[in-house]
Each structure stands twice: as structure tokens, then as C-alpha cells.
Amino acid sequence: MLHDVRAIIAEILDTASDPQVLQIEPETALIDDLGLESIDLVTIGGMLTERYGDRVNLAAFLAAQDIDQVIAMTVGSLVNFVVGSAGGDHDPER
């Protein structure tokens, strides 16, 4: 799952061929470290839903968070959300 999330982030950042993307770790902050904006989170949500189905609804998840939690969201917390929503039969490290 981590690999999949990295690939999606790389696509959003238009850095799919950049080896530095591989250095994205679970503790990497989506907004502070990667500079993602709210529209990027919407795009990520759509890509995750397309890949894993309607159970992975990032928009609903983010709507339930306060602004500080959204700003502090890390790659690892995104992976955990996807694994939990998709049904746990996915490998978080993949």
C-alpha cells in the first residue's frame, strides 16, 4: 500500500520519474513536507477510490477531521486510512 500511495503522490506532483519520490516515508507530511494543496487531496481521494473502491472515501475521512489534523496528515496516516477502509487485506508496506 505504501508503494501505491507513493506512486499516486508522484503522479500528483508530476515526479513519477524522480528517484527522490522513493524517499517518501510514512512520517512525511502531505502538506508541510510535500506541499500538497486541498485540490491535490481531492485528486488523491479520487485516485484511491478508483483503485480500491467506494469504501475508500478520503473526502469523508477528511471532513471528519479538524483542520489541524488535515494539515498534519502524513503518508503513513493516509496508508493506514486506506488499509482500514479497503478491508485490511492489503499489505501496508506494498
Q: What does the pLDDT average to over 66-78?
A: 96
What number of CA atoms fall less than 13 Å from residue 16's CA on the CB side?
A: 6
pTM of the model: 0.83
What are 93's three cell numbers? 508496506
To the nearest whole number, what is the mean pLDDT of the chain? 87
Distance CA 54, CA 33 (A): 28
Identify the CA nearest to 48 among candidates 93, 14, 89, 12.
Answer: 12
For the stretch 2-34, pLDDT in tens is 989 998 998 888 865 565 555 789 999 999 999
Listing DSSP states for 1-58 in one string gives -HHHHHHHHHHHTT-TT-GGGGG--TT-BTTTTT---HHHHHHHHHHHHHHH-TT--H
CB 14 within 8 A of CB 36: no
